[in-house]
Structure 1
C-alpha cells in the first residue's frame, strides 16, 4: 500500500465518519463506566457504614447491592457497545473496505 493510497483512504468521508463514530462511542462509554466506578470508590471511601447497612431483615446489604449494580452496568455497557458496533460501525467499515479496495 503506497502513501497515496493511505492518504486517499484518510480523506474518504466514510473513513472520517467511521473514526468519529468509534471515538464518540468509546469516549462516552468509558466516561459512563468511570463515573460508575469512581462513584462506588467514593462511596467506599467516604461512607463505608452505608455499605454495611442491611436493606431489610435479611443478609443483603447496600454494599452487596451496589456491587451487583456495578457489575450489571458493566455488562449492560458492553452489550450496548456490541449492539452499536454491529449496527453502525461494522456496516460503515464494510462500505469503506469496498470503496477503497485496492
Structure 2
C-alpha cells in the first residue's frame, strides 16, 4: 500500500492529468457528435415531416431509414470509444498503475 503522499504525487503528475484530459476530450467529442445527430433527427421530425415521410419502396420511408441509421451510428460511436479505450487509455492506466 502506497502512502497518501505517493498517491497525491501520481494524481498531480502531468501524465495523469493528460490521461484524464484525453478521456474527457474523447468522451465529450463523441457525446457532442451523437447529440448533434440525434437533435438533427428531432429537428427533421419537427420541421421536415414531408421529407421523412417520403416512401422508398412499398413499406419503408426515409424517416425509418434515418432512425435505424442513428441507432447504428450510436453503436459505431460506442465501438470507436471502446477501441480507443482498449488501445490507448488502458495502456496509459497500466503505466500509471505500475508507478503505484
Structure 2 length-normalised TM: 0.90
Q: Which blocks of at least 5 consecutive residues in structure 2 are unaligned?
A: none
Q: Higher RCO, 1 or 2 (CA under 8 Å, sep at least 6)?
A: 2
Distance (whole Å) between structure 1 residues aligned to residue 18 and residue 84 of structure 2: 14
Aligned residue pairs total 99
CA distance in 1, matches of 2:3, 2:45: 54
Matches of 1:2 and 1:52, distance apart in 2 = 64
Partner residue in 2 for 1:84: 84
Q: CA RMSD in A?
A: 1.4
The runs of 4+ residues in structure 1 deviating greater than 2 Å are 1-7
For residues 8 and 65 of structure 2, the distance between their equivalents in structure 1, rounded to whole angstroms, comes to: 51
Tell me the TM-score normalised to structure 1 length.
Answer: 0.89
| 1:26 match | 27
